[in-house]
Chains A and B, each alone.
Chain A
Amino acid sequence: MLEYLRISIIWFNNLVLGYYVLANILYLILFTAAVWGILKHLLRVDYGAYQESINPAMAPPVSVIIAAYNEKANIVDSVRSLLRQNYHEYEVLVINDGSTDSTLKSLIDGFSLRRTDTVYRDIIETAPVRGFYTNPDMPNLVIVDTVHSGKPDSLNVGINVSRTPYFCSVDADTILEADAILSLMRPIIEKPELIKATGGIVRVVNGSTVENGKIVKVALPSDSLSRLQIVEYIRSFLFGRAGMSALNSLVIISGTFSMFHKKTVQSVGGYVHTTVSEDMELVLRVHKKMLDSGQKYSINFIPDPICWTEAPRELSMLAKQRRRWHTGLAETLFAYRGMFGRPRYGRIGFFALPYQLLIELFGPVIEILGYGIVTASFFAGVIDLEFLMLFLTLAVLLGVFFSTGAILLEEITYRRYPKIKNLLLLLFYGVVENFGYRQIISLWRTQALLNALFRRKKGWEHVTKHGFKVKKDGLPKTEATKG
């Protein structure tokens, strides 16, 4: 019996090792693809007036949709940043998703809004709309008040109200770069028949200073949790998403800020409520619809920093967020299981979805099991101390390599953290994250997967935000109060 157990442990160890090798080879491929894709993109941007080469009147109008639920801390700053976009024609639609705090009042006061009668046509069926609010001096701002029905429904309300051929969804706690819409629209302007959605790089705003809805100073926050997330975001976007996009296998566009072709989204029925990861679900549904109908299309990622979002500052909030993300991933992959390995779905069916399943969804489970069983193997005498130490060292060094690689990409490309101290801190946290942070994240993700499998808990867990570090005219910089 003991022998069987020993053999099983050896097999499992080999499995973990094999998985580990496979995962890191894939990471390496993604990293290489990301470097190639980002440098190619930057060369285009670098050669001068690439962004300005098209007369503004030639770019299609865009609707920016924000679904806001209890976002009083940031909503006015976010909307201000949206109203300052360097884009010739766009409207901002804020959907107040039945907030129970003073989100609506903040908006009404902040923008001197008044209630107006507007016809609401629910081309995509939604929950009832309670009212529209506008300001004659801001004709491109419309606030829609709805009964609380969740983010997907609010975004659908926005799509129904939108009067433009493209829309982008923006989270309420987001600050956009001035050229964000232009950056996302540029590939669409180039290939409007082909590109159905685009996304870009999301950065963590914690620690940076926001003035009148604009980032005026980029800096690292004082708390370690936010710093760890900054490294994580850089790695995720600069190497994960950019790599998948370069391989034409992008299945996730961050709901924080993404652009969609409205008719395509309407044709697939808009956002759905059946998952907590409505952004990924929508992208997959668009993939499926396009591939089923045999249409040529593309979903792109632009490796430009386009927006800044607030990351959770408490461990409990981070846990909620990560569990929600992983639950959403599990639900979406389950919902689209029929696409796996089917020739009709090409790279999505053969590479993108299996990657999401094996590496993203099951990766944390195997990592957690690996830690446990490899350690148990050591105590059971199956492996010696040297092998255990070598394995753990390898795991840490590989983790450090991919984080450092992502920071290198950031340094070569955008250099958003100008101080050398900030750069050294990022490198330091790229090492430190391998000792505890990565493991705890994996643990939460494992819990989320188990919850999803056994249907113990579902639904959107709201993450409390603190508000941006703001600088008001004539006032010292302050941390906004807890929202």
Chain B
Amino acid sequence: MILITHIVILTILGLDLAAFCIIIGRRYYTGRLHARLDSERAACAEPMLSLASNTEFTEIALLRRPPGGAGWTAIEGELFRALKSPEANKGYIRLFFDLLGYTGLYIGTLKSGKEWEQAAALEKLGRLKCASSVTHIIEALDSEKRDVRNMAAYSLGEVKSDESFSSEAVAALVNQIKRVAIHNEESSIRIIKSALISYGDRALPTLLPELKNDKWRVRAAVVDILAEIGTHAVIQPLIDILTDTERDVRAKAAKGLGKITDISSVPPLSLITKTKDPFWVVRLHVVRALGLIKDPIAIECIKERLGDNKWQVRSAAATALGTIGAEAYLVLVEQYLKSNDQYTREQVQEELAHSGIIDSLVDFVLKNRDRLPPIDGPNGSVSSSTSGEQMPPLINGGTIPPAVYVKIAGLLVSSGTGVPAEVIMKLTREGMGRRERTMAIEILNAIETGAGPQPDTRQ
């Protein structure tokens, strides 16, 4: 027993010492390696500077190093760094990659069968934007290893450039998306989408026919890509697919139109709002899209969704009105003051608070109190010609014309109740005129006696 324990102790002691030595040795080795890399970098600094600044440099032998060594790695890193330089002649630097053997080594590695090395080579070919390697990268899309396939897709997205556009690459990526959509490989779909997005309009001839693909996941992926491409050419196809049979596709199409923010999509989106899509996520994205497009024509449609049975849609509708701004704030304030629906009022109140309009409004009231309508005057009866100073921008970056401010202020002061407590608090502070204080006290009295709109208890 004692002997065994001795042996175990000696073994563990040996392991301890070995681990200790490996740590110190590795630190020493890494330090030396970095020093060698630095020295190699310093040695090639001048030629690299020439390449990066697009000055002719022909003594290629100065940069030739045996593969695998520190010099090889240092030159590779410096060539990639030079490639990033805005002044560099990229084609010329790519020629150096070819002549020094880097490109050949990368392409050769693709056949190595070693997963990580293949992926690294693919990434470098992509970074290099090596047009001549597209065929090899497309072949890698058929790899059994998912990481290699994904990196091949990524590289195809990177490798494209104006002079090296490859319709084969787009076709291969679209085929790949059809393949992975069936297996629902989310990461692969996302990477392929990213690659196709980078091709922009040039991918459309291959992509658009896939909107009729019988697999909804493929249609949904294509809709996502179109939305990110976001050019005028994709608007009509996205509008057309708003009536797709699959709800996720419809929602993505609406979301996409919201990203593009073209005014021509307002009528079809408004129509969907009126017909009330049965799937709430579609309604949500339609309302959001209408808000992002910022066309005041959509205000009435969005207003209807303030009473939606899903709070997410109500919230999106209030935010959309806030995003449109100007006249849409009048709708928000009207809804806040008049709606019988507690949930609508809550949502509107939140949007009003978030937008910063209350503070702006209070400032406006204080600065323009002589122009405000009488306390018993009709709602919004003040002429829009009443001028006041322009208010500062709101949170969403929008501004409100003074005339609209006056209308909103008129609405608030004449309604008597439902005015946010913050407004009343500020109206009652010292330094106010007698008229404003009287008004504020009346408002507070009205609230205390329970007058004004009551919360709806239907839901």
Which residues of A line the B interface, CB within 8 A? Answer: 43-44, 46-50, 53-55, 57-59, 114, 116-119, 121, 134, 136, 139, 189-193, 386-387, 390-391, 393-394, 397-398, 400-401, 404-405, 407-408, 411-412, 415, 420, 423, 427
Closest Cβ–Cβ distance, residue B15 to chain A (whole Å): 5
Q: Do B354 and A116 touch across chains, with their CB atoms under 8 A apart?
A: yes
Q: Cβ of B9 and Cβ of A397 under 8 Å apart?
A: yes
- In the complex formed, the residue of A with least CB distance to B314 is A119
Chain A residues whose CB sits within 8 angstroms of the CB of B200 once the complex forms: none
Q: Which residues of B contact A404 (CB under 8 A)?
A: 16, 19-20, 23
Query: In the complex, which residues of chain A have a beta carbon less than 8 angstroms from the beta carbon of B13?
Result: 397
Q: Is B290 close to A, CB under 8 A? A: no
* Contact partners of A121 in chain B: CB under 8 A: 311
User: Are B5 and A394 interface neighbours, CB within 8 A?
Assistant: yes
State which residues 128-183 of B face A: CB under 8 Å.
147, 150-151, 154
The one of B15, B124, B224, B350 in contact with A401, judged by C-beta atoms closer than 8 angstroms, is B15
B contact face: mostly helix, strand, loop, or mixed: helix
Contact of A58 among B147, B193, B311 (CB under 8 A): B193
6 contacts between A and B (CB under 8 A): A44-B116, A55-B228, A390-B9, A401-B15, A408-B22, A408-B26
**B12–A397 contact, CB under 8 A?**
yes
Among B184-192, B272-280, B366-374, the stretch in contact with A: B184-192
What chain B residues lie within 8 Å of A134 (beta carbons)? 354
> Within the assembled complex, what's the spacing in Å between the Cα atoms of A277 and B118?
44
Contact A58 B8, CB 8 Å, known A53-B150, A190-B186, A397-B16: no
Q: Which residues of A contact B9 (CB under 8 A)?
A: 390, 393-394, 397
Whether a CB of chain A sits under 8 angstroms from the CB of B197 is yes
Shortest beta-carbon contacts, A-B, top 8: A48-B123, A190-B187, A55-B194, A117-B353, A47-B120, A136-B395, A53-B154, A404-B19
Nearest-neighbor residue (CB-CB) of A192 within chain B: B186
Q: Are B20 and A55 in contact (CB under 8 A)?
A: no
Q: Which residues of A contact B27 (CB under 8 A)?
A: 411, 420, 423
Contact partners of B434 in chain A: CB under 8 A = none
Given contact pairs A386-B2, A394-B9, A136 touches B356 in the complex (Cβ within 8 A) = yes
Provide the bound-state CA to CA distance between A116 and B354, in Å: 6
Which residues of B from 9 to 68 have beta carbons under 8 Å from A?
9, 12-13, 15-16, 19-20, 22-24, 26-27, 30
B26 near A117 with CB under 8 A, answer: no
Contacting residues of chain B (318-375) with chain A, CB-CB under 8 angstroms: 346-347, 349-350, 352-354, 356, 359
CA distance A330 to B367 in the complex (A): 64
Is the pair B20, A427 in contact by a Cβ cutoff of 8 Å?
yes
B residues whose Cβ falls under 8 Å from a Cβ of A: 1-2, 5-6, 8-9, 12-13, 15-16, 19-20, 22-24, 26-27, 30, 116, 119-120, 123-124, 126-127, 147, 150-151, 154, 184, 186-187, 190-191, 193-194, 197, 224, 228, 311, 315, 346-347, 349-350, 352-354, 356, 359, 394-395, 420, 422
Docked-complex contact A48 and B127, CB < 8 angstroms: yes
- On chain B, the residues within 8 Å of A49 by CB distance are 123, 126-127, 154
Choose among B124, B228, B395 the residue that contacts A57 (Cβ–Cβ < 8 A): B228
- Other A-B pairs, 14, CB within 8 Å; known A119-B349, A427-B23: A44-B147, A53-B194, A54-B191, A55-B197, A58-B224, A190-B187, A191-B187, A398-B12, A401-B12, A401-B15, A401-B16, A404-B19, A412-B26, A415-B30
Q: State A117–B123 Cα separation when bound (angstroms).
A: 49
Instruction: Name B358's closest neighbour in chain A (CB-CB).
Output: A117
Contact, CB under 8 Å: B395 / A55? no
CB-CB under 8 A from B347, the residues of chain A are 119
B2 & A394 in contact (Cβ 8 Å cutoff): no
Q: How far is the CA of A59 from the CA of B191 in the complex (A)?
A: 11
Given that A48-B120, A411-B27 are known contacts, is A189 also in contact with B190, CB under 8 Å in the complex? yes
CA distance A391 to B19 in the complex (A): 22
Shortest Cβ gap from B348 to chain A (Å): 10
B127 contacts A58, CB within 8 Å? Answer: no
| A406, closest chain B residue (CB) | B19
Do B193 and A55 touch (CB < 8 A)? Answer: yes
Complex CA distance for A117 and B351, rounded to whole angstroms: 9
Q: Which residue of A lies closest to B123 (CB)?
A: A48
| Neighbouring A residues of B359 by C-beta, 8 Å | 114
Give chain A residues whose Cβ lies under 8 Å from the Cβ of B12. Answer: 394, 397-398, 401
Chain B residues closer than 8 Å to A423, beta-carbon distance:
23-24, 27
Are the CB atoms of A118 and B350 closer together than 8 Å?
yes
Instruction: List the B side residues contacting A192 at CB < 8 Å.
Output: 186
Contacts of B19 on A, CB cut-off 8 Å?
A: 401, 404-405, 407-408
